[in-house]
Amino acid sequence: MENSLQVRRQERGWSQQRLADELGVSRQTIISIERGRFDPSLPLAFRLAATFGCTIEDMFTP
What does the pLDDT look like over 6-59, one tens digit per residue?
999 999 999 999 999 999 999 999 999 999 999 999 999 999 999 999 999 999
**Please, where are the H alpha helices in the chain?**
5-11, 16-23, 27-34, 42-52, 56-59
Strand, helix or coil at 2? strand
Single pTM value for the model? 0.91
Residue 62 is assigned to a structural domain of this protein? no
The CATH number that applies at residue 44 is 1.10.260.40
Q: How far apart are CA 36 and CA 43, in angstroms?
A: 17
Which domain range does residue 46 map to?
2-57
